[in-house]
Amino acid sequence: MSVSTFLQKDSYISNTGRGLIAGFVGGLAGTAVKTLIEQFLPVRKIEQRSAQIKIVDDLSTKITGSPVSSENEALAEQLVNIPMGGSLGAAYGYGKKERYGLKPMDGVIFGATTWATTHETSLPILGLEPKPTDVPIRMQLNELFAHVAFGITTEVVRHYIDKQMREQA
């Protein structure tokens, strides 16, 4: 069975495959948009290292015995952001595998929920980011905006790719 035949059938498995693929690509696009926004809107204090850098730094220290060099921090941060965004997008696409049509509000909810479950809860609990009460409200709003843009972009791209795959079926 070829991939095109697999994706053309209207079954649970083909809907799931299309949803995962479209969501993954949407999540990658959303990550790119979020990263771009964060270049212009500050989401943390200048001296504060991101949670992604802390994770990669710890991993690098355990594997190589030395932390990530400062000139490689931007790349290291994306080594966490890209797979995380793609994975979140794939999960989102899976959840929408049988829901057709563009629903930007779903993207808003997806992005805001991602922000709330990472930057407002789990990352501070893990000690990777300061508590929300210690972060200036402006930076929290910038982070929320970047995540909402991530969610909307994920939804738009997911919808477009899913629609293209269905029309080719």
Residue ranges per structural domain of the chain: 3-45+77-168
What pLDDT is attached to residue 169?
66
The helix or strand, by DSSP H or E, that contains position 112, with its residue range, turns out to be helix 104-117
Q: Report the candidate in 167, 160, 164, 163 with the shortest Cα–Cα distance to residue 30.
A: 160
CB proximity list for 47: less than 8 A, separation 6 or greater? none
- Which comes out higher in pLDDT, residue 82 or 9? 82
Q: Report the candidate in 85, 88, 87, 96 with the shortest Cα–Cα distance to residue 15.
A: 96
pLDDT, one tens digit per residue, over 58-87 is 988 999 999 888 888 888 888 899 999 999
How many residues belong to the chain? Answer: 169
Q: Distance between CA 19 and CA 12 in Å, rounded?
A: 10
What's the mean pLDDT in 35-53? 89
Between the CA of residue 7 and those of 14, 20, 100, 169, what are the distances in Å? Answer: 5, 11, 16, 7
Average pLDDT of the chain is 90
pLDDT of 1 higher than 60: no
What pLDDT is attached to residue 8?
62
pLDDT, one tens digit per residue, over 115-153 is 999 999 999 999 999 999 999 999 999 999 999 999 999
Between the CA of residue 67 and those of 22, 40, 44, 55, 155, what are the distances in Å? Answer: 35, 27, 21, 10, 36
Cβ–Cβ contacts within 10 Å for residue 126, how many? 12
Q: How confident is the model at residue 98 (pLDDT cuts 50, 70, 90)?
A: confident
CB proximity list for 124: less than 8 A, separation 6 or greater? 130, 131, 132
Residue with tokens 């989102």, as numbered in its chain? 92
Q: How confident is the model at residue 57 (pLDDT cuts 50, 70, 90)?
A: confident
What pLDDT is attached to residue 69?
87
- HSE-up of residue 47 (Cα within 13 Å, Cβ side): 0
What's the mean pLDDT in 107-111? 98
- Which comes out higher in pLDDT, residue 34 or 4? 34
What pLDDT is attached to residue 157?
98
